[in-house]
């Protein structure tokens, strides 16, 4: 549903004003941001269930256009060489799961997380780009890119439609999410081999004046990393693997809450959302805003190879 400026001020507690001002000082002053954190032990509710995407590969990540009521989902492009080349497909869905369009991104990365910036009746996507293969059959981006979603378009890393950003020199495996409650961009990257999360004012990133608001290390003790998002001063991390002989139902999908101000692990909880799904691999997180209220969403891939499906569940209870 559309989010008005008044609603953004309500959930953002002043952070929207920081984005409009476009200054790091204002953004830092808005550190109180959205009130509360999600209760990870609360039950999850189904949003979409086993929907086919434009390509038939596993959902990697997703993000909401909370203004226009759309979901954008990143996948590896169909084809055996897509992972090594960093070729992605982005599918645009309605909130009921109907396919509304797609784009192909060639040489961008693995799609572990994406961000969406609504703009009028359309949206700009934020993704990794300039992928480099790691020798294990996968490729990961080294910079961030912003571009307008255009249905049916194929972009390469040299496309004039891209605006690229290097926020930390030498960083690798760069991805990002956007917190709609604060208009912050949260970048996950590796610096000297260590996974880190760095928060910036989105307006300042676009203006070329970004400085770090928060910079914390990824906590230890996680399983296979599968996605992240942020709401206010809290970061939410997803880890786990698909069902299998060594990982039978209800699986090993966990959500972890981290305080962006300190890097401290606040809560960690096993998620049994969609536990009846076959395959069931956790993939991606995002914040949805409905009638001014936030939802913490996680994605799940299911189905057989060549016919994968996407499901999304959410938690809305705040502490």
Give Cα separations from 145 to 119, 124, 162, 167, 236 (angstroms).
Answer: 16, 10, 6, 11, 22
pLDDT single digits (tens) 274-286 = 999 999 999 999 9
0.75 exceeded by pTM: yes
CB 184 within 8 Å of CB 213: yes
Burial label, 162 (beta-carbon count in 10 A; 0-12, 13-18, 19+): buried
Query: Over 70: is that where the pLDDT of 213 sits?
Result: yes
CA distances from 22 to 19, 26, 28, 79, 235 (A): 5, 8, 11, 42, 22
Position 16 pLDDT exceeds 80:
no
Position 31 pLDDT exceeds 60: no
User: In 10 A of CB 101, how many CB atoms?
Assistant: 16
* Phi and psi torsions of 7, nearest 5°: -70, -40
């Amino acid at each position: 549903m559309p989010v008005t400026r008044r609603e953004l001020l309500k959930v953002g507690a002043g952070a929207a004003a920081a984005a409009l001002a476009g200054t790091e000082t204002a953004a830092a002053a808005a550190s109180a941001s959205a009130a509360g954190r999600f209760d990870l032990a609360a039950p999850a509710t189904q949003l979409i269930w086993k929907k086919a995407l434009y390509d038939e590969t596993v959902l990697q990540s997703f993000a909401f256009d909370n203004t226009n009521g759309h979901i954008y989902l990143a996948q590896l492009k169909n084809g055996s060489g897509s992972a090594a080349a960093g070729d992605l497909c982005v599918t645009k869905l309605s909130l009921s799961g109907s396919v509304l369009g797609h784009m192909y991104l060639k040489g961008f990365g693995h799609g572990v997380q994406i961000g969406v910036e609504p703009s009028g009746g359309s949206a700009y996507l934020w993704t990794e780009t300039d992928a480099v293969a790691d020798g294990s059959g996968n490729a990961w981006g080294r910079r961030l890119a912003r571009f307008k979603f255009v249905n049916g378009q194929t972009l390469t890393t040299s496309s004039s439609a891209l605006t690229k950003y290097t926020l930390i020199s030498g960083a690798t495996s760069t991805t990002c999410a956007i917190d709609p409650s604060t208009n912050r961009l949260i970048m996950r990257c590796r610096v000297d081999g260590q996974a880190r999360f760095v928060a910036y004012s989105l307006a300042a990133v676009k203006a070329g004046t970004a400085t770090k608001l928060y910079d914390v290390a990824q906590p230890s003790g996680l399983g296979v990393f599968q996605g992240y998002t942020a709401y206010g001063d809290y970061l939410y991390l997803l880890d786990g693997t698909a069902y299998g002989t060594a990982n039978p139902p209800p699986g090993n999908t966990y959500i972890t809450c981290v305080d962006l101000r300190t890097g401290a692990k606040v809560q960690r909880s096993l998620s049994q959302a969609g536990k009846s799904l076959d395959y069931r691999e956790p993939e991606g997180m995002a914040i949805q805003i409905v009638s001014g209220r936030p939802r913490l969403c996680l994605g799940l891939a299911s189905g057989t190879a060549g016919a994968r499906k996407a499901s999304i569940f959410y938690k809305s209870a705040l502490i």
